[in-house]
Structure 1
């Protein structure tokens, strides 16, 4: 069977493309496993500065493959959602920033995937939602990422009604970063990825890890831990180089350490 995803690398950007457009790019166990493995491979590749997750066809992802969830044992169900959790945690665990480039609807676990990525850009025809309540399967795992992205009340609105929101609303709510014309989506995504890639790879790694470390901590604990992170960051070669370059009014030369 052909791979569920396309993997390519160009100009320091790793691209992962969901490639089951006829089935609306469902997050089957196979697709989720392939995504996780590819993300780990990019994560270990020093030549990759950023990663983009995108999709073929009209739909970004319709969520889990429901055919895998019917007539299964409890252990089967646990295993499937365990694979999903591992994918989402891998996105935030690898050192490179991960961008979602959303050309069409992203619902249920597809919405979770977008919410989990570090940044997201969408075309106007994209819509977002967690419609599981309509089929008796509450979107409890998507809720984890979505509620952290848009807050309690807005997340509950999506979860309890199963309704979708358009791309402009998603941007306003903080689920995605921006909306761009469909014919400019690929260019804008690459532009954003390239802008991030201009930074020191070691600084990006430190910053991404620190962000997720502090985001759910009480303020006092966050300041205590991030003060230590920033102090140790300041001692790195790239931080010293960057500060010297700024003071000397010249471009920095990163070493990745």
Structure 2
């Protein structure tokens, strides 16, 4: 593993930290690939994953890639873009809850990663921004990570305005779950972790599984899915023990 990420372990709770504070925790293509693998590996023996960035800012987006040069063929461009889509997918596909902890700015890819977490706690002074349109970059890659997290009006405002929004606005729009008072971010995180550590792992996994899949079903399908999970989990010795 490179020095770009730190992995911490407290029992069965894992913490992944982007460790490039001097570069605003900007994520390169190589880092995106590495982080995808880390999420997959860590989720195998964790009940919870905490995801955060070192330093003053959570993540200022993708690393500067220099001169664009000639446009690649569409097939090659798709392969290159897939590394970002795969990263978004790793957050969603992790079988355990991923908790994002946000301080400072979450810009572009950083905003997407914050939203991709299952629960996102943001410090009151944090800001979220999607500046792609102001740089003549199509924002649909970013939007794909937000489409089922945000209200449509909130999403379109974030994308079209390109303005930074506050943590309170981000919570109203659906990016953030809870806003922590300034300097109390870790206090709020620990309070949440204490509650989640007391819950059986099968229940933690089942809730995420249902949340990820039921939204794509019609009402009857969602009810049938819930009925199945309810019967399976409530009769499990792991849940009762």
Q: How far is 1:99 from its partner?
A: 0.4
What is aligned with 2:79? 79
| Equivalences, count | 239
Q: How far is 1:133 from its partner?
A: 0.2
Q: Which moved more, 1:111-120 or 1:173-182?
A: 173-182
Q: How far is 1:87 from its partner?
A: 1.5
* Cα distance in 1 for residues equivalent to 2:220 and 2:237: 29
What is aligned with 1:207? 207
Unaligned runs of 5+ in 1: 242-252
Q: Which moved more, 1:29-38 or 1:110-119?
A: 29-38
1:64 aligns with 2:62: yes
Q: How far is 1:235 from its partner?
A: 2.6
1:162 aligns with 2:155: no
What is aligned with 2:193? 193
Q: Provide the alpha-carbon RMSD of the alignment.
A: 1.9
Q: How far is 1:122 from its partner?
A: 0.8
CA distance 1:159–1:69, change in 2 (3 Å)? farther
* Cα distance in 2 for residues equivalent to 1:7 and 1:120: 19
Superposed CA deviations along residues 62-81 of structure 1, whole A, max 9, x for unmatched, are 22224178226244532332
What is aligned with 1:178? 178
Unaligned runs of 5+ in 2: none
What is aligned with 2:105? 105
CA distance 1:238–1:68, change in 2 (3 Å)? farther
SS of 1:137 mapped into structure 2: coil
What is aligned with 1:223? 223
Counterpart contact for 1:103–1:182, Cα < 8 Å? no
1:55 aligns with 2:44: no
* Cα distance in 2 for residues equivalent to 1:230 and 1:68: 52
CA distance 1:229–1:2, change in 2 (3 Å)? closer
Counterpart contact for 1:106–1:129, Cα < 8 Å? yes
